[in-house]
Structure 1
Amino acid sequence: MAFTVFIDGAVGTTGLEIRERLTGRTEFDLVVLGEAQRKDPAARRAALNDSDFAILCLPDDAAIEAVAMIDPASKTRVIDASSAHRVADGWTYGFPELTGRDQVANARLVSNPGCYPTGFLGLVAPLVRAGLLPADWPFTINAVSGFSGGGKALIERFEADPELAFRTYALGFGHKHIPEMQRHAGLAHAPLFAPSVVPAYRGMLVEVPLPLAAIPGAASPADISACLAAFFAGSPVVWIEPADTQELLLRTQDAPHDDMLLSVYADAHGTQARLIARLDNLGKGASGAAVQNLNLMAGLPETAGLALPNN
């Protein structure tokens, strides 16, 4: 018998991509509301409470509202793709490689990670846990993403303005991803986050520069690379990529993919390093991660329906 899945917010970028990944899969029956029903609170409430799984692809306030519509006694299990519950008590953080696959598989409430935090945490959290980097270091994150991560408004802005070549933002500090990154990496201080957007639809590079010679107790680049390789050994989604190139590129027409590649670049003396994650902001950074979590929660193969090199 197939599991019923209701994607609340299925017309948004993340929701559309989740639906695309689930279409044709016999393990799931999608619960689809018409235009009028989507705006009818009673119809939404029924869909949320009658489905085996609800995936929320909504703004934060709407996601909180949707969760409040779900009867605690209902069978519904939730994956929230918004940032509303990523540091909330009672929610399991949906990064199986960090949180644990069993914890995600057995959870009722799962908060899907943000795209930038996925890259940062994949690079830093294993190293802090292993004591190879100090938890009280003031980490910096330089990151660039395709414009689809900003939702419909930013997509329309870039598509309407061919001269728009670069956008840096979060200049007021306090970006909503910061508490998520600090908490799940176990950091004493909020990292300094510098995100930017380029005129590519999808794709993302997340970089953490490390002045190793100045960091008390920091490990060598070789030990850092070995730690990441060991931590993600056997993962079908997160890969360690050799640092054997002089450039990393985002292309305007990159194909969707649901894996994440991590690299450790270092100078010849091991005094400086650049940790870099490459991922699709709509893949492992959003929709692909939601489907990975859904697979685990449904007791299915973790990578079913994902766009991966060996799938």
Structure 2
Amino acid sequence: MKYKVFVDGQEGTTGLKIFDYLSDRSDIEVLRIDPDKRKDANARSELLNAADIVFLCLPDAAAKESVELVRNEKTKIINTSTAFRTDKDWVYGLPELKQQRELIRSATKVSVPGCHATGFILTIKPLIEAGILQPEYPVTCYSVTGYSGAGKSGIEEYENSALAAARKLNVPRHYALQLNHKHIPEMVMYSGLLHEPLFTPIKANYAQGLAMSIPLISRILPKNSTAKNIHEVLSTYFESERFVHVMPYESEAYLDEGDFLISECNNTNRLEIFVFGQKDKINIISRYDNLGKGASGAAVQNMNLILGLDEGTSLQK
């Protein structure tokens, strides 16, 4: 049996990557829209309602418009934009959270987590559940990501050497400095925190790969937990997961003369969590591909679950 799949937003970064994942699938028939009809509501509606699975790889407003065009109960929707991620009528597509797989398998509408939110939630949620971190803890975090996270226009800007030189894009750039990044609502809702984290994202002049860093101070944790304690909790939580791995506590072998390598999970659906620290200082870093586990890979993983297939089909560990 072949499943019909339509990618609404097929020309964007996420949509193109999904096509890559599906290109060798004999069980998938990809429905395509003529480029000159991408904004034709009737043409899109026809494909949206003909598909078993629809990926929405669109800006928020356009994604909401597409949902309104789906008029049958057969089509399952996987949204990759910010729209609907905190909507209670949509299932949050992070299978590695406890009990989340079963919700995804039976869902008709799933929202793929934001790239920054993915590493944040997978770090914070297990610690809160274990009583290691209190929900009211004043969490700070920052992430460093490749420019592909800025979308098609951002990629074109960075890869145009003249424009990149004129705008001095060769150095890392902090952004969302009003502390209102669009991923923050889902970071709060699904982590179990009571308050927003102080989150600073940084984009840098390399294509892909993301590292989310969360520092903690053990003396203000409820159990005065050490880095070793936190490593044990995270290791236990994810011990049976194929895509999320807690790396050995003594992680020097995975560093480059003491330096952290952000891009080691590129072109995979793998997310690796490292726990560093001494005395009362702890730093937890998760690394993954912002285009893989942070976007398109996660979308395909959710599709596999919805269709009742092995969730790792066509995904690289």
SS at match of 2:262: coil
2:83 — aligned with what? Answer: 84
Aligned identity (percent) is 39
1:147-179 per-position Cα deviation (integer Å, ceiling 9, x unaligned): 001101211221221441211100112111101
The amino acid of 1:11's aligned partner reads E
SS at match of 1:303: coil
1:184-222 per-position Cα deviation (integer Å, ceiling 9, x unaligned): 011111000000011110000000000111334343222
The amino acid of 1:15's aligned partner reads G
* Contact 1:7–1:31 (8 Å) recurs in 2: yes
2:298 — aligned with what? Answer: 289
Q: How far did 1:255 drift?
A: 4.3
Is 1:210 the counterpart of 2:216? The answer is yes
Moved over 2 A (4+): 214-220
* Contact 1:133–1:218 (8 Å) recurs in 2: no
Is 1:298 the counterpart of 2:298? The answer is no
1:99-118 per-position Cα deviation (integer Å, ceiling 9, x unaligned): 52111111110000000000
Using a 3 Å threshold, how does the CA distance of structure 1 residues 86 and 218 change in structure 2: closer, same or farther? farther
Inter-partner Cα distance in structure 1 for 2:156 and 2:137? 38
Inter-partner Cα distance in structure 1 for 2:153 and 2:29? 30
* Contact 2:266–2:288 (8 Å) recurs in 1: no
- Trace 1:88-127 onto structure 2 (pairs within 5 A): 88-98=87-97, 100-127=100-127
1:276 — aligned with what? Answer: 285
* Contact 2:93–2:302 (8 Å) recurs in 1: yes
Q: TM-score, normalised by structure 2?
A: 0.93
1:218-242 per-position Cα deviation (integer Å, ceiling 9, x unaligned): 4322221111111111111000112
Q: TM-score, normalised by structure 1?
A: 0.94
- Trace 1:129-208 onto structure 2 (pairs within 5 A): 129-160=129-160, 161-162=164-165, 163-164=168-169, 165-208=171-214
2:31 — aligned with what? Answer: 31
* Contact 2:226–2:282 (8 Å) recurs in 1: no
Inter-partner Cα distance in structure 1 for 2:194 and 2:184? 12
1:59-96 per-position Cα deviation (integer Å, ceiling 9, x unaligned): 0111111111111x331000000010110021000000
2:40 — aligned with what? Answer: 40
SS at match of 1:286: helix
Moved more, 77-86 or 151-160: 151-160
Inter-partner Cα distance in structure 2 for 1:217 and 1:82? 38
Determine which of 246, 254, 260 is the counterpart of 2:271: 260
Moved more, 213-222 or 175-184: 213-222
1:253-272 per-position Cα deviation (integer Å, ceiling 9, x unaligned): 984121100011011x2x11
SS at match of 2:223: coil
Inter-partner Cα distance in structure 2 for 1:255 and 1:179? 26
Q: How far did 1:36 drift?
A: 2.1
SS at match of 1:276: strand
The amino acid of 1:4's aligned partner reads K
Using a 3 Å threshold, how does the CA distance of structure 1 residues 218 and 17 change in structure 2: closer, same or farther? farther
CA-based RMSD: 1.4
